Chains A and B, each alone.
Chain A
Amino acid sequence: QSVLTQPPSVSAAPGQKVTISCSGSSSNIGNNYVSWYQQLPGTAPKLLIYENNKRPSGIPDRFSGSKSGTSATLGITGLQTGDEADYYCGTWDSSLSANYVFGTGTKVTVL
């Protein structure tokens, strides 16, 4: 059971926008950077966002990240069929058993 909670699924039509939330606490999101990963079916995860809102080279600006308090959000604009994937947030958790933790994951469906 992850300490980072994401909605199981979100969906929208092509061209629309979706947002994915990642809810945590002061021991993780509240005091640490958040990253986001995209995992296309049958493939390895891919880094989309790091340090809350930075994009690695090659990641289009349709993907954006933000953080407020103990929650983080991934936004995807101009949704494309190729964006159908699982998305995971991740951050350091400095509670009793300090670990890096991933969120529960969100399946994005393009209608």
Chain B
Amino acid sequence: EVQLVESGGVVVQPGGSLRLSCAASGFTFDDYAMHWVRQAPGKGLEWVSLISWDGGSTYYADSVKGRFTISRDNSKNSLYLQMNSLRAEDTALYYCAKDIKKWGYSYDLDYWGQGTLVTVSS
């Protein structure tokens, strides 16, 4: 059974930093690209970032480019999101999600975690 479990969400002050983690199991982690998607309270979905299966390629939404860094450790079946210079508008539930395509990426996300809540507030 595929499982994705996010952690690391907390309350942080504006301008602060935070690192989210996502522990994956139930599939061959290093065969698939992984994504972060967020959802502000009561709002819709916003794609945040993608990392390729081998970590060699990364992509970001304009809203987080230059502030967030996605990474992965295939030896630990783990995905990360380093978040710097946090703003109030970054407040959201952050989901990690698996791409459906093996050894590539399609942005079709077939498994999602339950999310971890990041609140940016003074």
Distance between Cα atoms of A99 and B100 in the complex (Å): 18
> Closest residue of chain B to A45, judged by CB?
B112
The residues of B with any CB-CB pair to A shorter than 8 Å are 37, 44-47, 50, 61-62, 95, 100, 106-110, 112-115
**Inside 8 A of A45's CB, which chain B residues have their CB?**
37, 45, 95, 109, 112
- Could you tell me if A50 and B100 are in contact, using CB atoms closer than 8 angstroms? yes
In the bound complex, do residue A101 and residue B47 qualify as a contact, i.e. CB atoms below 8 Å apart?
A: yes
Chain A interface residue bracket vs B: 20 to 34
B108:A50 contact, CB within 8 angstroms: yes
Interface residues of A in 48-73 (CB under 8 A from B): 50-51, 56
B61 proximity list for chain A (CB < 8 A): 99-100
The total of Cβ contacts below 8 Å across the A-B interface reads 56
Q: Closest CB-CB distance, A32 to chain B, in whole Å?
A: 9
- In the complex the two chains form, is B62's CB within 8 Å of A44's CB? no
CB distance from A96 to the nearest CB of B (A): 9
For chain A, what secondary structure do more than half of its interface residues adopt (helix, strand, loop), or is it mixed?
A: strand
- Choose among B107, B114, B115 the residue with the greatest number of A CB atoms under 10 Å from its CB: B107
Asked if A44 meets B114 with Cβ closer than 8 Å, knowing A97-B62, A102-B47, the reply is yes
Set of chain B residues within 8 Å of A100, measured between Cβ atoms: 47, 50, 61, 107
- Inter-chain CA distance A106–B33, complex, in Å, is 28
Q: Which residues of A contact B113 (CB under 8 A)?
A: 44
- 15 CB < 8 A contacts A-B: A35-B107, A37-B109, A39-B45, A45-B37, A45-B45, A45-B95, A47-B110, A56-B100, A88-B45, A90-B47, A99-B61, A99-B62, A100-B107, A101-B47, A105-B45
